[in-house]
């Protein structure tokens, strides 16, 4: 889709990662796995795990405060807060309102949670862009905060090795000089809903002692099927937004993809014709932090100078639903 006017740009980024590191060697003591298998099949070396007091709101608020400071925006100036999370602290109230209160945003601001699993951040970016283009908001905070350690089954070696905790945030504002979101493409496919799921705990299968015992409220995943869908979805979406932005493959300065598996990232980059030296990867340090992977990656890439004013940035993600998308942006 071509960009609405005015363009929406990211003016500040922030992240919060818990201090506690869980290494592959630690996991060897918990399930039947090995450091070598995890590194070779996923690319992950370690991940962060939040303690009991550090919930999605706490991590999200920390990331938000860092992003606001870098944008030079005060919390009470915000018009909207969008929070993406697969691990809300409570089913009600929504986590975005908890973060609104935690950072001291005003009541003039509207806050809502957006659920699109690991693709949530990119969907939120497009929702923020729409609000800005419609003239309904000028300062929007997006917070992606995930405490995945509370929803993975620590006895299931096929999933527990993949995920970690953390939060990323960005401030989105109108831009006047041609920088900002140039194109975006989002899709979903409910026919593939069973590939990644948490069966119990919602309205269809409320929690019972039996369902808790059988861990039906934990993440279940058909790994290899997700793998294939992910590569196809992210590479096609990437090619589309690059074309819509009017770029050639050589004009992509950096690709910040969802960090789920190093082999997924490499295949996606190959299909999207982006050489690996222009792909941002922090998966080895954090594992898959669901919707927080991209904003955490943006903050690190800005900090180490890989993203600068004028950088042509491509982002792509996929997740449960299935959902997927890509966004092309001039920084």
Asked whether position 301 contacts ligand COA by CB under 6 A, the answer is no
Q: Active-site residue 160, yes or no?
A: no
118 versus 302: smaller Cβ distance to ligand COA: 118
178 versus 224: smaller Cβ distance to ligand COA: 224
Stretch in the footprint of ligand COA (CB under 6 A) among 66-74, 181-189, 222-230, 238-246: 222-230
Asked whether position 319 contacts ligand COA by CB under 6 A, the answer is yes
The CA-based angle 45-87-173, given to 5 degrees, is 90
Asked whether position 118 contacts ligand COA by CB under 6 A, the answer is yes
The CA-based angle 2-326-144, given to 5 degrees, is 115
How many residues touch ligand COA under the rule CB under 6 A: the total is 20
Asked whether position 233 contacts ligand COA by CB under 6 A, the answer is no
Contact 52, 165 (CB under 8 A): no
Strand partners, 22: 47
Q: In whole angstroms, what is the distance from residue 120 CA to residue 143 CA?
A: 10
Asked whether position 291 contacts ligand COA by CB under 6 A, the answer is no
Site mask, ligand COA, residues 182-201, x = CB under 6 A?
--------------x-----
CB of 178 to ligand COA, least distance (A): 33
Of 160, 258, 261, 312, which is the active-site residue? 258
Nearest Cα neighbor of 64 from 31, 19, 104, 6 is: 104
Q: Is the peptide bond before 322 cis (omega within 30 degrees of 0)?
A: yes
Site mask, ligand COA, residues 131-160, x = CB under 6 A?
--------------------------xx--
CB of 142 to ligand COA, least distance (A): 18
Using N-to-C axis directions, what is the helix angle for 223-244 and 262-271, rounded to 10°? 40
Q: Which residue has the tokens 């690059």?
A: 242
Site mask, ligand COA, residues 261-290, x = CB under 6 A?
x--------------------------x--
For residue 279, the 8-state DSSP code is: B
Q: Which of 56, 143, 226, 289 binds ligand COA (CB under 6 A)?
A: 226
Q: Active-site residue 284, yes or no?
A: no
Q: Active-site residue 186, yes or no?
A: no
Alpha helices, DSSP H only, in the chain? 24-28, 35-42, 56-71, 95-103, 120-133, 157-160, 209-213, 223-244, 262-271, 283-286, 293-303
Strand partners, 146: 166
Q: In whole angstroms, what is the distance from residue 247 CA to residue 238 CA?
A: 11
Nearest Cα neighbor of 49 from 87, 80, 83, 11 is: 87
Residues of span 57-86 touching ligand COA by CB under 6 A? none
152 versus 182: smaller Cβ distance to ligand COA: 152
Q: Which residues bind ligand COA (CB under 6 A)?
A: 33, 37-38, 41-42, 118, 157-158, 161, 196, 221, 223-224, 226-227, 230, 260-261, 288, 319
List the catalytic residues: 118, 258, 288
């Amino acid at each position: 889709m071509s960009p609405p006017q005015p363009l929406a740009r990211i003016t500040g980024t922030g992240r919060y990662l818990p201090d506690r590191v869980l290494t592959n060697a630690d996991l060897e003591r918990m399930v039947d796995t090995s450091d070598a298998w995890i590194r070779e099949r996923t690319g992950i070396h370690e991940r962060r795990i939040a303690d009991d007091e550090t919930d999605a709101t706490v991590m999200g608020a920390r990331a938000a405060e860092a992003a606001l400071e870098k944008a030079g925006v005060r919390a009470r100036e915000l018009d909207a807060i969008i929070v993406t999370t697969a691990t809300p602290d409570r089913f009600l109230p929504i986590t975005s309102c908890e973060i609104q209160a935690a950072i001291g945003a005003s009541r003039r601001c509207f806050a809502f949670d957006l659920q699109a699993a690991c693709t949530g951040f990119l969907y939120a970016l497009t929702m923020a862009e729409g609000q800005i283009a419609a003239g309904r908001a000028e300062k929007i905070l997006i917070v992606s905060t995930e405490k995945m350690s509370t929803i993975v089954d620590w006895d299931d070696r096929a999933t527990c090795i993949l995920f970690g905790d953390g939060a990323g945030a960005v401030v989105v504002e109108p831009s006047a000089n041609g920088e900002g979101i140039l194109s975006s493409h989002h899709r979903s496919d409910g026919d593939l809903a069973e590939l990644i799921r948490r069966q119990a705990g919602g309205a269809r299968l409320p929690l019972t002692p039996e369902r808790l015992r059988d861990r039906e409220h934990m993440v279940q995943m058909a790994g290899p099927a997700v793998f294939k869908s992910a590569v196809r979805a992210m590479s096609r979406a990437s090619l589309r937004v690059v074309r819509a932005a009017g770029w050639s493959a050589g004009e992509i300065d950096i690709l910040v993809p969802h960090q789920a598996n190093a082999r997924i990232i490499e295949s996606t980059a190959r299909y999207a014709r982006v050489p690996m030296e222009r792909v941002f990867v922090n998966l080895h340090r954090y594992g898959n932090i669901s919707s927080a992977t991209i904003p955490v990656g943006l903050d690190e890439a800005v900090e180490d100078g890989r993203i600068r004013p004028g950088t042509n940035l491509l982002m792509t993600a996929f997740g449960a639903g299935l959902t997927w998308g890509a966004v092309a942006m001039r920084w």
